[in-house]
Amino acid sequence: MRHLKTVLGLVLTAVMLFPVYWMINVSFTRDTAMRKSPPDLLPLDGTLDGYRDVLDQQLPYLGTSLVVGLGTVALTLLLAAPAAYSLAKLRPRGGGVLSFVLLIAQMIPGIIMAMGFYAIFLSTGVLNTVPGLIVADSTLAVPFAVLILTTFMSGIPEELLQAARVDGAGVVRTFVSIVLPVSRNSLITVSLFAFLWAWSDFIFASTLDQGGDHQPITLGIYHYIGNNNQEWNAIMATAVVASIPATVLLVIAQRYVAAGVTAGAVKD
């Protein structure tokens, strides 16, 4: 029975990841075979040219993307976790309005946000810098993080917090030593998305960091997108290479999303 589930899981994952496989397939394909009809299912007569280009040129971009992704996660959690705690448990007057504003804030088109940031960043001197890009990318995640964390923190049993209060813990201590540990799962979930959004952001990077010394991988891809021509095997190869370290991070992070954190805490 357990094995059956594993097999089914593997099949589902394979279906889901077929487009990813296709991307890998194209990354090995020669220009002359790219539009072959019907297409080759395996890149047997492939080329490594795409990868040669990528390994020569793209590694610094990967480093920047990692820094930007992790920085975005840190900034997002720092801003969102206290806010969510407040909205979920401290009953601020006007909290509903704020949640609503957060929801609407996400509707502003990215390109308009980018144009606004351009003016702000130019005058503050953070245009074309990594911290600037981190701040911009965090706007993709902060409203989401606050809303999601609020939902999850609302589910923390009141008894747990009251017990802490009886023990004489203040609001801050309750937050740090009770709420945060109990919210581990949702914090990881939020971090995952903050990281992924920052990792795959293109619009902010292209508007705010195109002249920078340190550029993320989404801009690195533009090495292969010329004004008249695109090198698709190198573009796909970049995406493949770029997703390897990030996938490892994801697998590790997912292992920490564990069952019953809240439940266990209540029982104790």
Partner 1 sequence: MSSAAGSRQVVGVGLAVLAAAGGLVACSPSGGDDGSTSGASQAAGGGTYTIWDPYPQYDAGSAWVKLLETCGAQAGVKVERTGYDTSDLTNKALLAAQQDNSPDVLIVDNPVVSTLAEAGVLTTTEENKLDVSSIAPNLLAAGQSGGKTYGVPIGANTLALYYNKDVLKRAGVDIAAVKDWASLTAALEKVKAAGKKGITFSAIGTEEGSFQFLPWFWGSGANLTKLDSPEGVSAVTLWSDWLKKGYAPNSVIGNTQTTSWQEFAGGEFAFAENGTWQLANAGKTGFAYGVIPIPAKDGGTAPAPTGGEFVSMPVQSDTGRYATSQKLVTCLTSGENSLTTTTTLSYVAPTEQVQARQVEQNPELKVWVEAVKAAKGRTSDDLGTKYPKISEPMWGAVQAALSGSKPPQEAMAAAQAAAASAIQ
Partner 2 sequence: MQTSVRPAAATPGVRRAARGRSGQWAAWAFLAPVVLYLLVFYAYPLYRNVELSLRNYTVRSFVQGDAPFAGFGNYAKVFADATFGPALWHTVVFTLVSLAFQFTIGLALALFFSKSFRLSATLRALFLVPWLLPLIVSASTWSWMLNSDSGVVNAALGWLGIGPVNWLTSPDWALWSVIIANIWIGIPFNLVVLYSGLQAIPAAVYEAAALDGANGWQRFWRVTFPLLRPVSAITILLGLVYTLKVFDIIWIMTKGGPSGASTTFATWSYRLGFGNLVPSFGPGAAVGNLLIVMALVFGLVYIRVQRRQALT
Q: Which of residues 199-238 bind partner 1 (CB under 8 A)?
A: 206-207, 210-214, 222-232
For partner 2, which residue of 67, 105, 160, 180 counts as binding (CB under 8 A)?
105
Q: Is 210 in the site for partner 2 (CB under 8 A)?
A: no
CA distance 205 to 191: 20
The distance of closest approach from Cβ of residue 89 to partner 2 in the complex, given in angstroms and rounded to an integer, is: 7
Closest CA to 257 of 197, 203, 207, 184: 184
Q: Is 55 in the site for partner 2 (CB under 8 A)?
A: no
Q: Is 123 in the site for partner 1 (CB under 8 A)?
A: yes
Q: Is 45 in the site for partner 1 (CB under 8 A)?
A: no
Binding track, positions 11-50, relative to partner 2; x by CB under 8 A: -xx--xx-xx-xx--x-------xxxxxx-x---------
Is the Cβ–Cβ distance between 193 and 144 less than 8 Å?
Answer: yes
CA distance 179 to 210: 40
Q: Looking only at residues 146 through 205 of this chain, which bind partner 2 when binding is defined by CB under 8 A? A: 146-148, 150-152, 154-155, 158, 171, 175, 185-186, 189, 192-193, 196, 199-200, 202
For partner 2, which residue of 80, 198, 208, 234 counts as binding (CB under 8 A)?
80
CA distance 23 to 9: 22
Q: Is 2 in the site for partner 2 (CB under 8 A)?
A: yes
CA distance 130 to 71: 9
CA distance 238 to 225: 12
The distance of closest approach from Cβ of residue 48 to partner 2 in the complex, given in angstroms and rounded to an integer, is: 19
Which partner from the list partner 2, partner 1, none does 71 bind, CB cut-off 5 to 8 Å by kind? partner 1
Beta bridge partners of 186: none
Encoded tokens for 13: 């994952």
CA distance 122 to 132: 10
Closest CA to 136 of 218, 63, 58: 218
For partner 2, which residue of 43, 46, 67, 89 counts as binding (CB under 8 A)?
89
Q: Label residue 206 exposed, middle or buried (CB < 10 Å: 0-12, 13-18, 19+).
A: middle
The span of 81-89, 121-129, 167-175, 184-192 binding partner 1 (CB under 8 A) equals 121-129
Cβ nearer to partner 1, comparing 214 with 261: 214
Q: Is 180 in the site for partner 1 (CB under 8 A)?
A: no
Q: Is 135 in the site for partner 1 (CB under 8 A)?
A: yes
Closest CA to 66 of 241, 223, 257: 241
Is the Cβ–Cβ distance between 179 and 88 less than 8 Å?
Answer: no
Q: Looking only at residues 108 through 137 of this chain, which bind partner 2 when binding is defined by CB under 8 A? A: 108-113, 115-117, 119-120, 135
Cβ nearer to partner 1, comparing 61 with 262: 61
Is the Cβ–Cβ distance between 143 and 102 less than 8 Å?
Answer: yes
Residues that bind partner 1 (CB under 8 A): 31-37, 57, 67, 71, 74-75, 78, 115, 118-132, 134-135, 138, 206-207, 210-214, 222-232
